[in-house]
Amino acid sequence: MVFYDRIISPSRGIRFPAGTYLLEAEDASYWYLRSPSPLEIREFKSGKVASSRTALGGIMLGKSFFKTIGLPAAGYLDADVDGKVALWSLGGEFIRLEGSAWSKSF
């Protein structure tokens, strides 16, 4: 799946590789699912890819989609040995794709 910061003339995008994302951690609010390969973050200038980098991370999936505080889901990167940092907000568009583009097995 690929998401952009805006539909018309995006300046940034993120690609989540296909495959099985394994549960690697959880806290009171989220499950942290490790991507099978690095995420790809792209920056665009004048409609063309200006830079691209990969980073280890995955998807953090909210345990409750109906919370008024916090994100329902987000892309995350490893921050340090035990830390994670949310990089990309995944809102209603991502949640609506459950069952067609992604599914949980737990």
Say if 30 falls within a structural domain. yes
Number of domains in the chain: 1
Count of CB atoms situated within 10 Å of the CB of 28: 5
Say if 102 falls within a structural domain. no
Say if 103 falls within a structural domain. no
Residue 57 confidence (pLDDT) above 90? yes
Residue 106 confidence (pLDDT) above 90? no
Say if 96 falls within a structural domain. no
Domain limits for position 27: 2-91
Say if 98 falls within a structural domain. no
Say if 105 falls within a structural domain. no
With pLDDT > 70 as the criterion, what percentage of the chain qualifies? 94
Q: What is the pLDDT of residue 68?
A: 40
The predicted-structure confidence for 59-91, as pLDDT tens digits, reads as follows 999 888 665 456 889 999 988 777 899 999 988
Say if 101 falls within a structural domain. no
Say if 17 falls within a structural domain. yes
Give me the chain's average pLDDT, please. Answer: 88
Average the pLDDT over 47-67 and give the result.
86
Where does the chain have alpha helices with state H?
92-96
